[in-house]
Amino acid sequence: MIQLKNTVDNPKGICAYLLFEEDYEEKQQSSLFTELKNKDVFSGKKDSFYTTSFIEDHELKTICLLGLGKRKELTEEALRMAVAKATKQANKLKERELTFFLDQVFMKDKWIRAIGEGLTLAQYAFDKYLSDKKEKTLDNIVLAIPAAPSFKDALDEGIFLGAMTIEARELTNEPGDVVTPVYLANKAKELGKGAGFSTTVYDKKAIEKLKMNAFLAVASGSSFEPVLIVMEYTGNTDGETLGLVGKGITFDTGGLSLKPANSMSTMQGDMGGAASVLTAMGAIAEQKLPINVTAVIAACDNAVSGKSYRPNDILTSRSGKTIFVANTDAEGRLTLIDAVDYILTEKKVDYIVDIATLTGAAEIALGQKIAPTVTNDEAFYKKLKKASKVTGERTWELPHDEDYLELIKSPYADLTNSGGRFAGTITAGLFVGAVVGETPWIHIDIAGPSWAEKDTGYFSKGATGFGTRLLYQLAKEMSNG
Ligand code: BES
Ligand code: MN
Ligand code: ZN
């Protein structure tokens, strides 16, 4: 439980203070600060951290100091990281309560929301299959801040977004025999019912009728049937519609162009884009944002069998563009090109964002913290950048010059699904974007940031839920005009 209170007289458990570098100068009179400064154990610098226990009035007290850096440079992300550290410390010390004493610097909705996100996200670990779970004692967190009740909505928003992101993490971490295409469809229905958006699910026969042959080719090797999931939320009847498309490969073996074992080891997470789209829809609808959003997921399993599609097959995608299959492991773009064509021609959206764990090249280019993007509309991209600053989910724009299209030309078909080693993230993005025409479009490749190698800050090893909050915030920025 996370509570807001104006003051706390008798704090139990850990008392946490969020501090800036400048606090040294101002709090010189405090003996504790001077002492810590002299001992050089706590600096107030970003990520600096100090905890100590002592006896006062016959009671054991523990304080936790969390550095945020320079006051003027405060970011939401620094707050998320700092409060997450305090929760980890509380569990480590087997404390049940944690109280943050927040001064007026933090009296802004955006800071409180970020604190709510960080506190919520820090409590998650994918441990449901573990018999011996790591013990979590912390069950009551208090934010002591002046005018506490006025921050209730901001705190609730942060907690809710944290919970939706956790939902995305859980979906992404679950094995590929649990989170199947149909499982994703049921999750969409469940979220839709709770939050207030409609869900329509198309089965294989219906997908055939829709001529989504590139999507169907990817699905052909699996005993799990593909589904097309369509979600619609109306928050502004006369307004424009944002279209979201998420890659939903529930397990990526690579198909007949089989992945080596070590590359396959996290491929249950190849539906991370779908997870972020599903949960962003939940958040957008639940928060009743005044915007229309339509979301599409072409969910399937890229498996190996006698029915699998083959290298050198030539597919006719829904758009009519023919595709030479150079590599069955470049499957995401095949599902996405049909999903994007569908959302554009059937749903007539005004903007498109696709989000996908699409290329290993994305990780090579930017590492695991930043998602590369490709776009055809700088004004639209500016909104994403703004959203990204708020949520801490970082993106970086790659060039999308026309000459890269040369790389995905084929002598046998209109497009090839693999442009080779050069500019792999750009060519994958441009492949998906080949059907968007003039519609403002952003492609986000989350192969890197969708997965964390180890526990750090508010992340735990495994899926990060990258994209849930980013897409929500983008919709929020767009609905603010
Ligand atoms: N799902 C993978 C991309 C991926 C790699 C996601 C690592 C997360 C972590 C995608 O389907 C894939 O296999 N891409 C190939 C494309 C190539 C065959 C053109 C890749 O990146 O190697
Ligand atoms: Mn693949
Ligand atoms: Zn894949």
| pLDDT for residue 280 is more than 70 | yes
How far is ligand 1, taken at its centre, from the CA of residue 347, in Å?
Answer: 29
Q: Which atom of ligand 1 is nearest to the CA of 450?
A: 8
* Judgement on whether residues 332 and 448 belong to the same structural domain of the protein: yes
Q: Is residue 173 part of a domain?
A: no
Span of 207-211, 326-330, 333-337, 418-422 with lowest mean pLDDT:
418-422
| pLDDT for residue 367 is more than 60 | yes
Q: Which atom of ligand 1 is nearest to the CA of 270?
A: 1
Confidence tier at 43 by pLDDT (50, 70, 90) = confident
Q: Is residue 167 part of a domain?
A: no
172, 247, 329, 450, best to mutate for ligand 1 pocket (most atoms within 8 Å of CB): 329
Does the beta carbon of 331 sit less than 6 angstroms from any atom of ligand 1?
yes
| pLDDT for residue 481 is more than 80 | no
Q: Is residue 170 part of a domain?
A: no
Ligand at minimal distance from the CA of 428 is 1
pLDDT of amino acid 464: 98
Q: Is residue 121 part of a domain?
A: yes
Does the beta carbon of 357 sit less than 6 angstroms from any atom of ligand 1?
yes
Quote the CA–CA distance of 77 and 82 in Å, as a whole number.
Answer: 9
Confidence tier at 30 by pLDDT (50, 70, 90) = low
Quote the CA–CA distance of 358 and 275 in Å, as a whole number.
Answer: 14
Does the beta carbon of 334 sit less than 6 angstroms from any atom of ligand 1?
no
* Judgement on whether residues 283 and 411 belong to the same structural domain of the protein: yes
* Judgement on whether residues 214 and 339 belong to the same structural domain of the protein: yes
| pLDDT for residue 173 is more than 60 | yes
Quote the CA–CA distance of 45 and 65 in Å, as a whole number.
Answer: 11
* Judgement on whether residues 284 and 387 belong to the same structural domain of the protein: yes
| pLDDT for residue 232 is more than 70 | yes
* Judgement on whether residues 147 and 183 belong to the same structural domain of the protein: no
Q: Is residue 451 part of a domain?
A: yes
309, 359, 418, best to mutate for ligand 1 pocket (most atoms within 8 Å of CB): 359
Does the beta carbon of 359 sit less than 6 angstroms from any atom of ligand 1?
yes
pLDDT of amino acid 35: 76
Q: Is residue 166 part of a domain?
A: no
Among candidate residues 108, 130, 159, the one where a domain is terminated: 159
Percent of the chain whose pLDDT exceeds 90:
90
Q: Is residue 9 part of a domain?
A: yes
Average pLDDT, the chain: 96
| pLDDT for residue 84 is more than 80 | yes
pLDDT of amino acid 7: 94
**pLDDT tens digits, residue range 444-462?**
999 999 999 999 999 999 9
How far is ligand 3, taken at its centre, from the CA of residue 445, in Å?
Answer: 11
The domain spanning residue 260 has which CATH number?
A: 3.40.630.10
251, 304, 358, best to mutate for ligand 1 pocket (most atoms within 8 Å of CB): 358
Q: Which atom of ligand 1 is nearest to the CA of 332?
A: 11
* Judgement on whether residues 258 and 310 belong to the same structural domain of the protein: yes
* Judgement on whether residues 141 and 237 belong to the same structural domain of the protein: no
Confidence tier at 26 by pLDDT (50, 70, 90) = low
Quote the CA–CA distance of 190 and 184 in Å, as a whole number.
Answer: 10
The yes-or-no answer on residue 71 being catalytic is no
pLDDT of amino acid 27: 57
**pLDDT tens digits, residue range 284-310?**
999 999 999 999 999 999 999 999 999
* Judgement on whether residues 22 and 138 belong to the same structural domain of the protein: yes
Does the beta carbon of 120 sit less than 6 angstroms from any atom of ligand 1?
no
Ligand at minimal distance from the CA of 263 is 1
* Judgement on whether residues 212 and 98 belong to the same structural domain of the protein: no
Among candidate residues 103, 131, 159, the one where a domain is terminated: 159
* Judgement on whether residues 140 and 223 belong to the same structural domain of the protein: no
Does the beta carbon of 252 sit less than 6 angstroms from any atom of ligand 1?
yes
**pLDDT tens digits, residue range 345-357?**
999 999 999 999 9
Ligand at minimal distance from the CA of 447 is 1
How far is ligand 3, taken at its centre, from the CA of residue 452, in Å?
Answer: 17
Which domain covers residue 111, as residue numbers? 2-159
The domain spanning residue 55 has which CATH number?
A: 3.40.220.10
Q: Is residue 251 part of a domain?
A: yes
* Judgement on whether residues 296 and 340 belong to the same structural domain of the protein: yes
User: Is residue 100 within 8 Å of 115, Cβ to Cβ?
Assistant: yes
| pLDDT for residue 135 is more than 90 | no
Kindly tell me the burial class for residue 47, based on how many C-beta atoms sit within 10 Å of its own C-beta (0-12, 13-18, 19 or more): middle
* Judgement on whether residues 328 and 468 belong to the same structural domain of the protein: yes
Kindly tell me the burial class for residue 3, based on how many C-beta atoms sit within 10 Å of its own C-beta (0-12, 13-18, 19 or more): middle
Q: Which two tokens mark 174?
A: 């679950």
DSSP string, 252-315: E--TTSPPPHHHHTTGGGTTHHHHHHHHHHHHHHHTT-SSEEEEEEEEEEE--STTS--TT-EE
How far is ligand 2, taken at its centre, from the CA of residue 449, in Å?
Answer: 17
Q: Which atom of ligand 1 is nearest to the CA of 302?
A: 11
pLDDT of amino acid 33: 66
| pLDDT for residue 54 is more than 90 | no
pLDDT of amino acid 226: 99
Span of 35-44, 183-192, 278-287, 312-321 with lowest mean pLDDT:
35-44
In sign, the C-alpha dihedral spanning 142, 145, 149, 152 is negative
| pLDDT for residue 31 is more than 90 | no
| pLDDT for residue 174 is more than 60 | yes
The yes-or-no answer on residue 321 being catalytic is no
Does the beta carbon of 290 sit less than 6 angstroms from any atom of ligand 1?
no
How far is ligand 1, taken at its centre, from the CA of residue 331, in Å?
Answer: 8
Confidence tier at 10 by pLDDT (50, 70, 90) = confident
**What's the structural domain count of the chain?**
2
How far is ligand 1, taken at its centre, from the CA of residue 358, in Å?
Answer: 5
pLDDT of amino acid 22: 84
Q: Which two tokens mark 2?
A: 């996370």
